[in-house]
Amino acid sequence: MTLAIEATGSRRSRWSSITAWDLCRWAMAICVTIVVVFPIWWMVNVVFTEPGTPVSINPRLYPTSFAAGWDKVAMIMRETGYLHAYYMSMAYALLTIAGVLLLGSMAAFEFALFEFPGKRPLFGLIMLSLMVPTAVTIIPTYLLTAELGWINTMQGLVAPGLASAFGLFLLVEFMKGLPKEMIEAARLDGARHFQIYWHVVLPLTRNAMVTLAILTFMKTWGNFIWPLIVLSNAEKYTVSQVVGLFNAPFSHQTVDVVMTANLLAAIPPLLFFLIFQRKIVEGIAMSGSKG
């Protein structure tokens, strides 16, 4: 903001001298790009540098040794449970996505397109839950998971996150825009209720489902607090917990090994972003403008 004010303020001339303003905004955009990208770039450089080179000789401003980085990756994969943590995080994310999409789309189908007694209060109650902070539910949800005997299990990790009110909201908003005539036409053709959902509505909802799947992936891959309490057994750790282990104050790991662990955790979301960036940005913009 301070930057923006200075720039607009320092542009004393009017539209005629476009160059001064151009210079300003380019300079600012480049400065922000450096601030945003550099920490991530620095992480990469620390990984791909011969370990032990003093900062005074090699300030880690660019990668210098591909082999050194590769050795660290191989070492982490070989000597720690990182690969299994990857499997845990992937399973956690994929199962959550499958559940959120299936349960959410089934419920959204009804809430968006049909009338039935009790619909409004029920939907209202679920939407109200969007306002309730996680802080109040997390401890009792943990206690319930423990009562069910689901601590250190995949179902304990996944099940509490499946009834996503946010997902339902997103899908209902989308399905409301579907043409009602198509459903009527399908019904006249003799399609049963579930068939209409599966063969007519689901294919039309693909765009919203993809957006929701991507946002759900980002959220579960980045979820730190829930795996932290549900998985106490180190053999079940997810990537977030293993990264936490590497970064613990007494882990006795050197910075380049820690950064390798961090980089490995960053790869899936960064890849996702490269592939789906438009969908991600639009999904967030949409949830913001509708919320």
Partner 1 sequence: MTMNLRHLPHYLMVLPFVALFAAFFLYPIVSGFYYSFHDWNAVTEPHFVGLANYERIVGSRDFSRAMWNLVTYVVITVPLGIAVAFGLALLVDSFSGFWSNLFRSVFFLPVVLPAFLAATIWRWMYAPNFGLVNMVLGWFGYPSVNFLNDTDTMLFSLIAVDIWVSAGFNMVILLAGLKNIPVDLYEAARLDGASRLQQVRHVTIPMLAPVLFFVMTYGLISALQVFDVPWLLTGSSFTNYGGRQNALLFPVMDMMGRAFGSVRFGQASAYGFILTALIIVVTAGMFGLRAMRSKP
For partner 1, the closer CB: 117 or 179: 117
Q: Which residues contact 279 (CB under 8 A, 6 or more apart)?
A: 210, 211, 214
Give the residue carrying structure tokens 């400065």.
Answer: 31
149 binds partner 1 (CB under 8 A): no
243 binds partner 1 (CB under 8 A): yes
Please give the structure tokens belonging to residue 76: 């982490």
- Taking the complex as a whole, the smallest distance from the CB of residue 152 to partner 1 amounts, in Å, to 14
Which range of residues in 1-9, 69-77, 79-87, 173-181 is near partner 1 by CB under 8 A? 1-9
211 binds partner 1 (CB under 8 A): no
Per-residue contact flags (x/-) with partner 1 for residues 250 to 289, judged by CB under 8 A: -----x--xx--x--xx--xx-xx---x--xx--xxx-xx
For partner 1, the closer CB: 81 or 217: 217
Total number of residues shown for the chain: 291
CB distance 101 to 212 below 8 Å: yes
Query: Which 3 state secondary structure label does DSSP give 291?
Result: coil
- Taking the complex as a whole, the smallest distance from the CB of residue 199 to partner 1 amounts, in Å, to 15
193 binds partner 1 (CB under 8 A): yes
**Interface with partner 1 (CB under 8 A), residue from 194, 207, 235, 275:** 194
Least Cα distance to 97 among 223, 262, 11, 281 occurs for: 223
CA distance 251 to 124: 48
CA distance 79 to 260: 13
Least Cα distance to 238 among 93, 85, 91 occurs for: 85
179 binds partner 1 (CB under 8 A): no
- Taking the complex as a whole, the smallest distance from the CB of residue 264 to partner 1 amounts, in Å, to 10
Q: What angle do CA 229, 231, 235 make, to 5 degrees?
A: 150
Residues 108-137 that bind partner 1 (CB under 8 A): 109-111, 114, 116-117, 119, 122, 126, 129, 131-137
Q: Which residues contact 65 (CB under 8 A, 6 or more apart)?
A: 48, 49, 50
User: What DSSP element (H or E) covers 190?
Assistant: none
Which range of residues in 31-39, 63-71, 179-187, 202-210 is near partner 1 by CB under 8 A? 31-39
176 binds partner 1 (CB under 8 A): no
Phi, psi of 4 (to 5 degrees): -60, -45
70 binds partner 1 (CB under 8 A): no
168 binds partner 1 (CB under 8 A): yes
163 binds partner 1 (CB under 8 A): yes
Q: Which residues contact 289 (CB under 8 A, 6 or more apart)?
A: none
Return the sign of the alpha-carbon dihedral for residues 26, 31, 36, 41: positive
# of chain residues touching partner 1 (CB under 8 A): 97
- Taking the complex as a whole, the smallest distance from the CB of residue 42 to partner 1 amounts, in Å, to 5
Per-residue contact flags (x/-) with partner 1 for residues 73 to 92, judged by CB under 8 A: --------------------
- Taking the complex as a whole, the smallest distance from the CB of residue 154 to partner 1 amounts, in Å, to 15
